[in-house]
Copies of this chain bind each other. A is one copy, B any other.
Amino acid sequence: MIHGVDIQSRKKMCNEQGCVYEIMQADDVFFEQFGNVYISSIIPGVVKGWNIHTRTDTNIVCIAGNVKFVLYDRRKDSSTEGAVQEITIGRDNYNLVHIPYGVAFSWKNLGSDEALVANCATRVYDAEESLKIDVKSKEIPYQWQ
């Protein structure tokens, strides 16, 4: 487990009309601050990333389909520097994943339909702190199939 990464069970409440999927509340024990909430859709088989934030923490759930996240700790001062962590989330495994800034992440849609990921980030969008590394780069010791 990468230092500072957290996986939290989230509630999903269903009845005959549909479901409610909790994401984040202001009184959650791990809530820091609200910056930005948005949804990313991802086409089957596609890999998005690597994303790196230099100041913003990421809090993600997968609310349609199933996705695999790979995290890579590139923080020089981390006790787990260089570690790689794989996490699969989705409706059947409805968890929130907290990714501290400095940890690179990429994710793949494992299903045959579009998947949807929600991110409740701790800061407003800022292009200057939102970095990208090509998903095929050798800079990160993980190669997607």
How far in angstroms is the closest Cβ of chain B from A47? 8
Near B by CB (< 8 A), chain A positions 35-66 give 35-43, 46, 48, 63-64
Decide yes or no: A20 and B43 within 8 Å by CB, A25-B124, A64-B64 being known contacts.
no
How far in angstroms is the closest Cβ of chain B from A59? 10
Of B24, B123, B125, which is within 8 A of A36 by CB?
B24
Binding site for B on A (CB under 8 A): 16-27, 33-43, 46, 48, 63-64, 114, 116, 118, 120, 123-125
A124 touches B26 (CB 8 A): yes
Of B27, B46, B120, which is within 8 A of A124 by CB?
B27
Q: List 15 A-B contacts (CB under 8 A).
A: A18-B114, A20-B40, A21-B38, A21-B41, A22-B38, A25-B36, A25-B124, A25-B125, A26-B33, A26-B123, A37-B37, A37-B120, A39-B63, A39-B118, A64-B116
